[in-house]
Structure 1
Amino acid sequence: MNLFSMFRQAVGGAVLVGLAVAATGCQKSGPPRAFVTGTVSYQGKTLTTGEVAFYPESAPTEQPCLALIGRDGTYRMTEILLGKYTVSVVAPAKPLPGQTPRTPPPNRPIPVYIPVKFAKPQSSGLSFEVRDGTQQFDIPLAD
């Protein structure tokens, strides 16, 4: 695979993600919206990578509103519609038995592995009601 085709794939992926976000509850026009921020941890350890997804309970088939988890464990949801949401967290999964985790590149935090159940809104056990204004929703995950 040459550099041009890798670049083309990356741009195509970025466009698809942009379109998906545009189709979610993260749009700016229309009904009132809020700002939600928080930190994500698993068994007391800060997650340094991953994604938080808010699925609207009023329209569970709609695309979720997504936010990346930063190296400091924080996420930010801007312009999210008010209402009740089921929440999921996607982060590196634990290696299967017999596998060893890959060593992260230098200057990268060591990933915190979380169970797969948190990646599915049906099994995460997480929910949040977005109200008007700015809100803090920390997500402390545990087995």
Structure 2
Amino acid sequence: MNRYRLLALLCATAYLVGCSGSKEVPRGPVKGRVTLSGKPLAGATIVFENKALGVAQSTTLDDDGKYEFMTYAAAGLPAGSYKVTISSGRFMQPGEEIPKFGPGTKVGATPPPKKAPTSIPDKYAKIESSGLSADVKAGDNQPFDFDLKP
């Protein structure tokens, strides 16, 4: 009987220690629009990174250059100062499929993209040279819009 009491006491202690240490991190919504010389930038990838918080999130711009960060936990990102990069690469979107090859397709050939990617200056793809940043506050934030220059 003492063995079961000890086991129950250990389980209760582990439960209380595990649950008491969790703190909700204040978050703020992060969305906006990216343009290149005033024109919407579609299909590119935007990354928000904060090394101090250990956070790096990315998402793909829609056809109008708009983006919004959503995570499994909630909308937005933890409050803090972020460095921002934007590159031509993109992620597959929900509902998209990997292109299938037909008969006569050469091995190693890649299918043409649905939409030709816009040429984004290389400096925007590197955290050291992008010059883009955002201060995310807990609660409401104004949209984080970026107009890139060639």
Fold equivalence (TM over 0.5): yes
Q: State TM-score, norm by structure 1.
A: 0.62
Residues 24-52 of structure 1 deviation map (CA, whole Å, 9 limit, x = unaligned): xxxxx731111111110111221111111
Q: Structure 1 residue 112 and structure 2 residue 118: aligned?
A: yes
- Name the residue aligned to 2:149: 142
Q: State TM-score, norm by structure 2.
A: 0.59
Percentage identity across aligned positions? 32
Q: CA deviation at 1:76?
A: 0.3
Q: Which has the larger radius of gyration?
A: 2
Structure 2 counterpart of 1:111, which letter? P
Question: What pairs with 1:34-73 in structure 2 (closer than 5 Å)?
Answer: 34-59=28-53, 62-73=54-65
**Runs of 4+ that moved beyond 6 A:** none
Cα gap change, 1:63/1:131 in structure 2, threshold over 3 Å: closer, same or farther? Answer: closer
Structure 1 counterpart of 2:64, which letter? D
Q: Is the 8 A contact 1:40 1:47 kept in 2?
A: yes
Q: Is the 8 A contact 2:44 2:117 kept in 1?
A: no
Question: What pairs with 1:1-143 in structure 2 (closer than 5 Å)?
Answer: 30-59=24-53, 62-77=54-69, 78-91=75-88, 105=114, 108=115, 111-135=117-141, 136-143=143-150
In 2, distance between residues paired with 1:80 and 1:132? Answer: 9
CA RMSD of aligned residues (A): 2.2
